Each structure stands twice: as structure tokens, then as C-alpha cells.
Amino acid sequence: MIGMRHNDVRDNTHIAPTVLETYQDTWKSKAMFQDDGLLIDWFSPEFTAWAAASMNAWNPELAKVAYDTAYNRVMDMIMPTNKSTVAEASTTLISRAQIPQPMTKPILGYAAQMISELGDEATLDQYLRFIDKAYPPIWEQGGLFYPAIAQRNGRLPPMDAFTGNAAIPYGRLNVFQGQRRMYKNPWTEEHFSTYPFIDNVDLSSGVDFLRGSWDEDLAAMAITMCSYLGKNEM
């Protein structure tokens, strides 16, 4: 649905509204939720977390219901209850002998995507600080990522490449209701024709962009870059 909506904007077509109407009718007619409030899935709450993050773009009411259920279930699996601080939560989790049910790899990443889309700043901040403590990230060639870690005797969910390289960074960069905002008000050709941009500079140039801001009132752009290779290749 998200792809069709953006294709409509790019190609000046109107395919997404027709498909969306049919899609929403199908969701209403089919029993897509289990008795426990999660979306139908064969294994764990991770599918509901992923679906809530993506579905918020075109069905925010249903996504909110899914989030309220999936958040509690996922947090019960990942972080212990009644722990007010990240340090307490991390210590308890790391020392826990067993978890209630097996966790498949992407659950940490799907949770980050879901919270960044449907949660709030305090919840996301707590979750990301917990991740940083339980899975210390490292820098390599200008990139901050979380190394893959196999599940250890059921004590921790595994850290996989998708979660460590993409999903958690996505959770840090996404703005709340980001998918919903892009779906409702996507940037059109007019937007890109009136905003300045930087071209021919990327990570292969040995630099990383730390900040980019355009002040329309001042007609001024502020950019901060740094070299991560110790040399200037621009």
C-alpha cells in the first residue's frame, strides 16, 4: 500500500485509493486478530509489531490496536515488568535463565520500528538505552551498528544483521508517525524542485553527514560533515 501510494504521487495515477478501499473491506470481513489480541501468526508477537509499524500509514486505527497489544507482549518477552530503570531491566534480562518462549531474530528490530512509529519519546528512549546496554554498538568505517550475537541459552534474543544494521537505526531516525505522515503528505516533484540539495557527496567520499537543515526564511542551509577515514577524499 505504501509503495502504491508513492507510485501514484510519482506517476500522477490513482491506483492506491481503489486498492485501499478493497483492502480495508477485506480486513473488516476477515478475522485477522487472534483471541489474545495479536494478528494471526504462527509463532510470536513479532509479526504484529512489524505489521503495526507498516500498517499505521494506511490504517492508523487498526495499527493503534495492534500496537497496544504487541507492545505489552513484546516488552514482557524482552524486558522484565516492574523495572523502572534501564539498568535494572538490563541486569535482570541478561541474568535471566530462561524466557517464556523462543524469540525469533528480528523481534528486537520490529519492536524498535513499532515504537518509533506509534510510541512516544520516553518509551523509545528507554527502549534504545536498553538496547545499547544489552548489545553495545560499535563504530566501523563511519557506521554505528550492533554486531550480530547468537542467542545464548535463552537468556537474550539474538541480534541479527537486519536488526543491528537497519531496524534499530531506523528506529533512531524515524519521526513519530513518520510512515503516516509520508503516506498522507508525500513530498512531490514540486517540493524537490524548490528545496536545495547536496549532490555527488556520499559515504564513499569518506565523510558522514551529521546535520542538514534548510531555513526557508533565511534562505540558508546549515550542513555539518565529518571525515571517518582520517583523510579528505572530496
Each domain of the chain, given as residue ranges in start order, spans 33-96+103-184
Residue pair 146/132 in contact by the 8 Å Cβ criterion: no
CB atoms within 10 A of CB 114: 30
Tell me 163's DSSP state: I
- The helix/strand/coil state of 140 is strand
Point out the least confidently predicted range of 107-111, 175-179, 180-184: 107-111
Distances 231 to 48, 206, 215, 226, 227 between C-alpha atoms, Å? 45, 7, 30, 10, 7
Q: Is the pLDDT of residue 102 over 60?
A: no
Provide the pLDDT confidence category of residue 150 given band limits of 50, 70 and 90: low
Q: For residues 169-179, give the mean pLDDT.
A: 93
Mean pLDDT of the chain: 79
Query: What number is the average pLDDT over the span 44-50?
Result: 74
- Burial status of residue 230 (CB atoms within 10 A of its CB: 0-12, 13-18, 19 or more): exposed
At residue 83 the predicted structure's pLDDT band, cuts being 50, 70 and 90, is: very low
Residue 216 sits at φ, ψ, to 5 deg, of: -65, -35
The whole-number average pLDDT for the span 36-65 is 77
Please tell me the predicted confidence (pLDDT) of residue 190: 85
| Model confidence, pTM | 0.77
